[in-house]
Amino acid sequence: MDDKRERLLNLLKREQKKFLPLTPAQERLWRMEQGCKGRPVYIIPGAIRFRGELNLVAFRRSLDYLVERQEVLRITFTVVQQQVLQVLTSMKAALTVLDLESFPPSQRQSLSQNYLVQELETPFDLSCGPLFRTLLLRLSSHDWIVLFNLHNIIVDGWSMGIFYEELSQVYDAFCKGLPAPLSPLRLRYQDFVRELTSEFKGTRLAEATAYWRRTFQNLPDLTLPPVRNRDLNNSHNGGSLDVRIDRTQTIALQTFAQSQRVTLFMVLLAVFSICLHRYFQVEKLVIATPTANRDRSDLEGLMGLLVNVLVLPIDLRGNPTYRTILSRIRAVTVQAYAHPQVPFNQLLPDLPFPEPDARNPLAHFLLAYHGFSLKPLAFPNLEMESLKYPIKTSRYELGLHLWENTKTHLSSTSAEHGGLSGTFFYGSARFDSVMVEQIISKFQQVLQQMIAQPDACLSEK
């Protein structure tokens, strides 16, 4: 009887460990998801074309292995007594394989695009999962397209680099009949969550809450001047346009940043802020920016939503010089990075947007500078090409993502090494492609002017 009781208690303890609290970043994403009305806005997809002979058995086995290894890939969410919890489940990789070879070659490309769009427009069910789906299209025995689709509430951009690197190594080993070559993770996802939530309370929570509450209370009126009639029912509709900063200009920016004792990100933030100021004729802005939050070595190989989104109030009042703007931005950025955890639930009453505006309660704009280099997906005997996929949603009114041009799965084959590649994502309720092209043109002009005339005033165009 005692043995049965002990086994039952151990079972209950194990079951209890499957339920985890949400991290502050997940609390924010959970609330954002509720305002999407079933649209898949908060996703991180990646599409790749394989040319060569794909070992489908090894590919499927590799995905199953990673789902077992990285706990976050088998997370779902539930609500217990009005508290949202994440649940560790047991599941295999959700892999869908569609064979298009029976169709005429002239139709396969359009069919593949239709299937990609269909997958990207299929919402995730956070309560049932899975929150990681893979679509594999077989165009011929030597031509494949794969789309990895993950919900942002379980992973961030850094996680995708981990995923590609580990998938490459495991697939290679399984093709050769070898065991997976990966060392055990130094930290499990569930341990990270418990550690973060146990540490982020008491004095630390009070300090962070006080700092961000002051920040939110001092924010300017975030109402933007009307550009066009806004349809709140389609507030997440959007599009994207690419931007390039060549190697020569990037080196000039880096040199200029060093001379001003700021980072390249701070220079880019200043340029972005000035463009928004000139476009909207406002002197105070709020711009969100993500921070990787991976300053510990045991987090480098862990998949999960570790990124935090910080809010940066930008003050351009008084017709300052570019040099003064950089100084202000440096001070604001340093303060924000000193308080990287944003206690979202505690701050709900202080958020600058009213509840009906569910697009984003933190900021209209985002600037993300991805300064890290990710290893590309690499399978033996296969040529790989990163594919563009249609972007039809936007999380912000206007967001700019910039990457260093290294040979990664994110870079196009024509991107110049040493420069920067970027994408403007825009909400079509306020912007269209012509407007964003004008902002891109302003962005390039301000870059050049800031380097050439750092003591010029903001009003000098």
SS (H, E, C) 107-168: HHHHHHHHHHHHHHCCCCCCCCCCCEEEEEEEEECCEEEEEEEEECCCCCHHHHHHHHHHHH
Residue 310 parent element (H or E): strand 308-315
Task: Write the DSSP symbol of residue 361.
Answer: S
Residue 262's φ and ψ, nearest 5 degrees, are -130, 170
CA-to-CA separations, 256 to 94, 253, 449, 459, in angstroms, rounded: 48, 5, 12, 21
Domains of the chain with bracketed CATH: 17-185 (3.30.559.10), 191-452 (3.30.559.30)
pLDDT at position 164 over 90 = yes
The span from the CA of 201 to the CA of 199, in Å, is 6
- Segment among 55-59, 223-227, 428-432, 452-456 with least mean pLDDT: 223-227
The span from the CA of 31 to the CA of 152, in Å, is 13
Q: What is the pTM of this model?
A: 0.88
- Amino acid found at 228: R
* pLDDT value at residue 214: 85
Q: How many Cα atoms within 13 Å fall on the side-chain side of residue 88?
A: 20
Residue 225 pLDDT grade (very low, low, confident, very high; cuts 50, 70, 90): low
User: How many other β-carbons are positioned within 10 Å of the β-carbon of residue 62?
Assistant: 24
The span from the CA of 165 to the CA of 43, in Å, is 20
* pLDDT value at residue 12: 47
* pLDDT value at residue 402: 94
> Three-state DSSP class for 74?
helix
Residue 360 pLDDT grade (very low, low, confident, very high; cuts 50, 70, 90): low
Integer Rg of the chain from CA: 23
The span from the CA of 258 to the CA of 177, in Å, is 50
Closest CA to 304 of 23, 28, 30: 23
pLDDT at position 16 over 60 = no
> Three-state DSSP class for 230?
coil
> What are 250-285's pLDDT values in tens digits?
999 999 999 999 999 999 999 999 999 998 888 999
Give yes or no for a cis peptide into 130 (omega within 30° of 0). yes
Are 42 and 36 in contact by the 8 Å Cβ rule? The answer is yes
Closest CA to 93 of 68, 121, 122: 68
- Amino acid found at 373: S
> What are 389-415's pLDDT values in tens digits?
777 888 888 999 998 875 444 444 444
Closest CA to 220 of 353, 345, 334, 330: 353
* pLDDT value at residue 234: 58
Average pLDDT, the chain: 87
Closest CA to 458 of 312, 331, 288, 276: 276
pLDDT at position 133 over 60 = yes
Closest CA to 281 of 225, 230, 323, 329: 225
Helix ranges (DSSP H) in 156-294: 157-175, 189-199, 203-217, 247-259, 264-280
The span from the CA of 461 to the CA of 440, in Å, is 15
Are 289 and 309 in contact by the 8 Å Cβ rule? The answer is yes
* pLDDT value at residue 227: 56
